[in-house]
Each structure stands twice: as structure tokens, then as C-alpha cells.
Structure 1
Amino acid sequence: MSDLKQRLSDDMKAAMRAKEKDLLMTVRTILAAIKQQEVDTREDLNDTDVLAILDKLSKQRRESISQFKDAGRDDLVAQEEMELGFIQRYLPEPLSDDEVQSLVTEAIASSGAESMKDMGKVMAILKPQMQGRADMGKISGIIKSALAG
């Protein structure tokens, strides 16, 4: 079992004992997503795979928050923000803007990317380094502007 899955499992048990309903619900949601992926792929997930799932879940929460704010549903915004906070506990520290820029520049240089055609090469280098630590949509925009200019 990966360290991250073990930590999630331990936190679920602790939340049950402490009767922390909200944390328990969120951790169960995370573990269910992990289990679903394991069933679909028929293999145990490692920490990198679990991070990808956590990243996906946090992105879903951010999108929901945006939509609920637009609809004026403050009750649902609060719920999603709480869940996002719990999910972010398991993600590594986010990268600073300087770190992101440095990694993008380094990846462009090492891949020999010269135009937008080479964007996939750059993303392939960056994705494992930045998984769970930066919004890949924003990273894509940074790469596009670097390759265009």
C-alpha cells in the first residue's frame, strides 16, 4: 500500500473515532475514487497515481466553487471550500510562481521545443514534476506564451 493511501486510511479511522463527520466524508470520497481507479485498472496505485486523483478532485472542487458562486449558492460554496481544504492536506506544497517559471524554462530548453507543435513534449516533462503542486491549465498557458513569444 502506498504511503499516501495508508495515511488516508489512518485519517479515516481517526475521523471516525473523533466523530469528525465532514473530514470522514471527504476522506471516504477520496478513498472511493482511489478504489474505483484500482478496480478499473486492476492494479494497486502508487503515490503518483493517488496524487493525480487528489489533483483531479481538487480541480473539481475549484470548478464547483466557481459555479456555485455564480449561482449565489453560498451554502454549497462553503461545503466545497471545506472539502477542498481537506483534500489539499494530502497534496504537496504548491510551487511558487518563480519555481513554475524556472521549471517551464528548463523543460523547454531540455526538450528543444521551438513552437506550439512541441508543447506536448514540454508538458510530458513537466507533468510528473508538477502533479498536485500546480494547476496544469495555468501551466499550459505559461508554456503557450513562452513558445509563442
Structure 2
Amino acid sequence: MSLKEQLSEQQKIAMRAKDKARLGTLRMLLAEIKQKEIDSHESLTDEAIVTIVTKMVKQRKDAASIYDEAGRKELADGERQEIVVLQEFLPQPLSADELETLLTAAIADTGANGMQDMGKVMAVLKPQIQGRADMGKVSASIKAKLA
């Protein structure tokens, strides 16, 4: 079953359970997927959907931190609830050891030996870790290894 089909099925389950918060999040995600499909004139792959989900999780985290700074706890909690729902559809996160192994292999494969080669390493790593690791932390790890 494709990720899009799983999302549709989960939407139906949320409707039957009358879980408004979950249903709203799933509808928002499916609307974003539909918009991307309309824009590109083709059906999205699971990898493209994972990219969308990852982007939406990052947006929710940013919004939650802004709401916390502004003292709007109820809005921040709503964003965190959406994050929990969205993360269900992401692949399992990589452990620190797995990430380190992939990072070392990517540096070796590209022959990177300085900061000027960081883009090459990121290009190799991104498809392997998309949605499974925080790209900001990965970038910092690459900088530390190449410096």
C-alpha cells in the first residue's frame, strides 16, 4: 500500500473515530500532496510525500517555538499535536551510529577533503536520510568532519 493510500485510510479512520485534531492534520497533509500533484501534473512517489511530511514537521516545530516565545502555550501544544500525527508517516529515524556510518561512507565515496566538497557529500546523503534525520544536525556533522 502506498503512503498516499495509507494517509487516505487513516483519514477515514479519524472520521469514524470523530478525532477532529487528527482529521484536520491528515486533511491538511493530503491537501498539500494534492496541490503538489496538480502543480507537477503527475502522481507523487512515496519519497516525494516523505519530503512533504518532513517539511511540514519542520514548519510545525518552528511555529511551536515561536508560540512558546510569545507565551501562547495552547497554540504551541496544537502544533506539537500535529507533529505527532505527521511523524507517524515518516520512516524510522536513524540512530547516531547508523548516521555516522552513512556520513563516513559518503565522505569516502565522494573523496571529500574540505569544506568545498560539502555539497557533494550532502547530495549523496540526502536521498538516503531524507525524513530519517535532522538535516541541520547532519550538516553540522559534515562540517565538523570536513573542517
Q: TM-score, normalised by structure 1?
A: 0.96
Residues paired across the two proteins, number: 147
Look up the match of 2:139.
Answer: 140
Q: Confirm or deny that 1:50 pairs with 2:68.
A: no
Q: CA RMSD in A?
A: 0.9
Equivalent residue runs for 1:4-83 within 5 Å: 4-83=3-82
Q: Distance in 2 between matches of 1:60 and 1:39?
A: 22
Runs of 4+ in 1 over 6 A off after TM superposition: none
Q: Confirm or deny that 1:125 pairs with 2:124.
A: yes
Runs of 5+ in structure 2 lacking a partner? none
After superposition, the C-alpha distances for 1:44-73 in whole angstroms (9 at most, x for unaligned) are 000000000000000101111111111111
Runs of 5+ in structure 1 lacking a partner? none
Q: Distance in 2 between matches of 1:121 and 1:41?
A: 27
After superposition, the C-alpha distances for 1:66-98 in whole angstroms (9 at most, x for unaligned) are 111111110011100100000000011111112
Q: Confirm or deny that 1:3 pairs with 2:25.
A: no
Amino acid at match of 1:91: L
Among the aligned pairs, what percent are the same residue? 52
Look up the match of 1:100.
Answer: 99
After superposition, the C-alpha distances for 1:6-63 in whole angstroms (9 at most, x for unaligned) are 0000111111111110110000011011111111111100000000000000010111
Q: Distance in 1 between matches of 2:143 and 2:86?
A: 29
Q: Distance in 2 between matches of 1:45 and 1:79?
A: 28
Q: Distance in 2 between matches of 1:90 and 1:79?
A: 18
3-state SS, counterpart of residue 94 of structure 2: coil
